[in-house]
Structure 1
Amino acid sequence: MVKETVKHTLKIGIIGAGRIGKLHAENLVLLDKVELKAISDIYVENVIDWANKLGIKKTTKDYKEIIKDPEINAVYICSPTNTHAQMIKEAAEAKKHIFCEKPISFSAEETFEALKIVEQHGVKLQVGFNRRFDHNFKKVHDTVKNGLIGDPHIVKITSRDPEPPPAEYIKASGGLFMDMAIHDFDMARYVTGSEVEEVYVQGASLVDPVFKQYGDVDTAIITLKFENGAIGVIDNSRKAVYGYDQRVEVFGSKGSVAIQNDHPTTVEISTMQGVYRDKPQYFFLERYKDAYVIESREFIQCLLQDSPLVCTGNDGYQAELIAKAAKESLQQGKPVKIEQFKSEIIKP
């Protein structure tokens, strides 16, 4: 039996008005059946004019005002990662549905505890793995799921940023695996339809010594073993001088499916000197502009129709476990089983 669409407008509050919070706000105000009622930020004085232009009625420094507002149906948590888990718990206890940017937390234990609270209060939690909503990645997922390439054997993911983040960001980011590669861990699960059981990492600081200063790496090769028998390879770099490099290939028993980078145009110029085309899109805001809109639109539709989410809290949790295992593998110099972290968290 198909449930009827709820005939009302959802009222939304956003916690955190940094780059990603503003992006979500500007997308939400364009969606049907949505009222963006409030936004909070500790530096709210810097965003009041911007909020007024979007028609946001309330701005506040105190995020609790959003969570306690009985009119607000759902919250977007776009604040720093170290605040996510506590805010998720408070929002769930207030019976608010939740959209949370990745990662849920820097601690798989904290994430697990937050997800239990979400489950207890019967609210929905979507994690901001926006690449699932990109037209290219979704096509790969659908192709594999429909059996067109048979059983997946090898997954290759390339994910390279055009330039490294500033030192202050690196210091608080949680490291390459939790901050950057976590998108690739989610994508590996998404396109294969299988959980990861083992991780092995080789990493180095080749782009900037500041990464080593903070105990991080900027370059990595990550090998994954999946429960369905497939093998995965992810290569990450914090600096690709030619642009934002985002490619995926899944090779299977009946063929393969692959996507290349998106470019500003498909124009190709051929002369005696060579053949030229545009470099890839420069960064994630350009590359995934449409994906951000779609992920919010689908989140809203899932709330209105009470339908399953495309990207759940468990997806965020599983990606964090892989990130934790990746860091452990780099430190130990050997493969690490995901199961050992699950057994530490999920008590019998």
Structure 2
Amino acid sequence: MRVALIGAGFIGSVHAVNLAAHPDVRFDVFDVDTTRARSVADRHGTGVVASLDDAFDPARFDAVLIASSTDTHAAHLRRAADAGLAVFCEKPVDLDLDRAREVSAHVAARGVPAMVDFNRRFDRDYAHLRELVRSGDLGDVELVQLTSRGPSMPPLEYVAVSGGQMRDQAVHFFDLARWITGAEPVEVTALGAALADPRITEHGDVDTSVTSVRMSTGALVQIDCVRRTAYGYDERIEVHGSAGMAEARRHRDGAVTRYGAGRVVEDGLHPGWFERVRPTYAAALDAFVTAVREGVAPSPSLADGLVAQAVAEAATAALTSGRTEPVLTVTP
């Protein structure tokens, strides 16, 4: 598969590593910053794409991987679809839900394979948790607890363009709750506070939140999100069912336990979110390549991305209104 990587920033560099390692992929790099594009390309012994016209040229490429800034995703998705190119896109399609829905409908109408990068679906432990739920071993799902606690505040410059904690951080877990349970989100209640850095309120955001989601089956989902811990990156999921409980525990950065007089010392958590989820990016890319090669629809789809975004919109509204907000039905 000939892939044009669009975007050579942090996440583009992550994808470049996995593209270079994949045996069925050849790729070149485009970025509006040509120096940055050249740096990534040279690192992996590949080429630089001179222009966006070239990046979307079906004579040169079979697919595009969109890792550019969020405000470019929608336009790039539309252009890929018009060129007949398969497309793998970082979330979100667009921060505006209506525009995201319109662009997703455009891509669907063109019939090109399209996948949104909710990479946590490719976490081994979360996939196992889903298998246990879907097998019926836990009985009927009644309560799901998800935790996402980052080690440090992101720069306020990032916060200003991120869309807020619900759209940027919690959205992954809205998607996981739906994917694991097989149920659809119905309504959302949310509480939030600015405890790590009060300046975040200048951007209409929070850094600490608890969100409750009622699913179509009646199951309840609770997600706690924190931007700053004092102990590393903490992510875990617990599913309680009528016949039992299963837990995907927090990951440590090692497996050594030291025993001494009067104390036991264990390895701590990963220093950041990327160290925790790094393998999922390669797994997501491989799933995309395999789906396109075999002629099946890639998953998660743009429609999956829209549902998670609709939950994030309802949660963001609930933070302000103090009410339980309905989740809009969205289809591309």
TM > 0.5: yes
**Structure 1 counterpart of 2:24:** 33
Conserved 8 A contact 1:197-1:338: yes
Structure 1 unaligned regions, length at least 5: 1-9
**Structure 1 counterpart of 2:3:** 12
**Structure 1 counterpart of 2:322:** 333
Q: State how 1:223-234 maps to structure 2 within 5 Å.
A: 223-234=212-223
Q: State how 1:265-280 maps to structure 2 within 5 Å.
A: 265-280=254-269
Deviation at 1:307, TM superposition (A): 2.0
Deviates more, 1:85-94 or 1:51-60: 51-60
* Residue 52 (1) aligns with residue 68 (2): no
**Structure 1 counterpart of 2:95:** 106
* Residue 207 (1) aligns with residue 196 (2): yes
Conserved 8 A contact 1:199-1:326: yes
Change (3 A) 1:226 1:290: same
The separation in 2 between residues aligned to 1:11 and 1:94, in whole angstroms, is 14
Secondary structure, in 3 states, of the residue corresponding to 1:113? helix
Letter in 1 for 2:274: L
Conserved 8 A contact 1:44-1:59: no
Identity of aligned residues (%): 33
Conserved 8 A contact 1:48-1:59: no
Deviation at 1:264, TM superposition (A): 1.7
Q: State how 1:310-329 maps to structure 2 within 5 Å.
A: 310-329=299-318
**Structure 2 counterpart of 1:218:** 207
TM-score, normalised with respect to structure 2: 0.97
Conserved 8 A contact 1:51-1:59: no
**Structure 1 counterpart of 2:13:** 22
The separation in 2 between residues aligned to 1:305 and 1:280, in whole angstroms, is 38
Conserved 8 A contact 1:163-1:240: yes
* Residue 168 (1) aligns with residue 157 (2): yes
Structure 2 unaligned regions, length at least 5: none
* Equivalent in 135, 138, 151 of residue 124 of structure 2: 135
Conserved 8 A contact 2:20-2:26: yes
Deviates more, 1:66-75 or 1:243-252: 66-75
Change (3 A) 1:327 1:49: closer
Secondary structure, in 3 states, of the residue corresponding to 2:80? helix
TM-score, normalised with respect to structure 1: 0.92
The separation in 1 between residues aligned to 2:31 and 2:110, in whole angstroms, is 26
Deviation at 1:63, TM superposition (A): 2.6
The separation in 2 between residues aligned to 1:111 and 1:46, in whole angstroms, is 28
Q: Deviations over 1:11-69 (max 9, x none)?
A: 00011101111111111111122111x21111121341331231222233x33320134
The separation in 1 between residues aligned to 2:150 and 2:63, in whole angstroms, is 32
Deviates more, 1:149-158 or 1:111-120: 111-120
Conserved 8 A contact 2:123-2:277: yes
Deviation at 1:310, TM superposition (A): 2.7
Deviates more, 1:178-187 or 1:262-271: 262-271
The separation in 1 between residues aligned to 2:96 and 2:21, in whole angstroms, is 35
The separation in 2 between residues aligned to 1:113 and 1:11, in whole angstroms, is 27
The separation in 2 between residues aligned to 1:69 and 1:40, in whole angstroms, is 15
Secondary structure, in 3 states, of the residue corresponding to 2:56? helix
Conserved 8 A contact 1:202-1:333: yes
Secondary structure, in 3 states, of the residue corresponding to 1:234? strand
Secondary structure, in 3 states, of the residue corresponding to 2:229? coil
**Structure 2 counterpart of 1:239:** 228
Conserved 8 A contact 2:8-2:40: no
Secondary structure, in 3 states, of the residue corresponding to 2:17? helix
How many residues are treated as equivalent by the alignment? 332
* Equivalent in 61, 66, 73 of residue 72 of structure 1: 61
Deviation at 1:94, TM superposition (A): 0.5
Conserved 8 A contact 2:49-2:55: no
Deviation at 1:261, TM superposition (A): 1.2
The separation in 2 between residues aligned to 1:27 and 1:321, in whole angstroms, is 30
Secondary structure, in 3 states, of the residue corresponding to 2:49? strand
Letter in 2 for 1:208: D
* Equivalent in 281, 285, 288 of residue 270 of structure 2: 281
The separation in 2 between residues aligned to 1:299 and 1:160, in whole angstroms, is 28
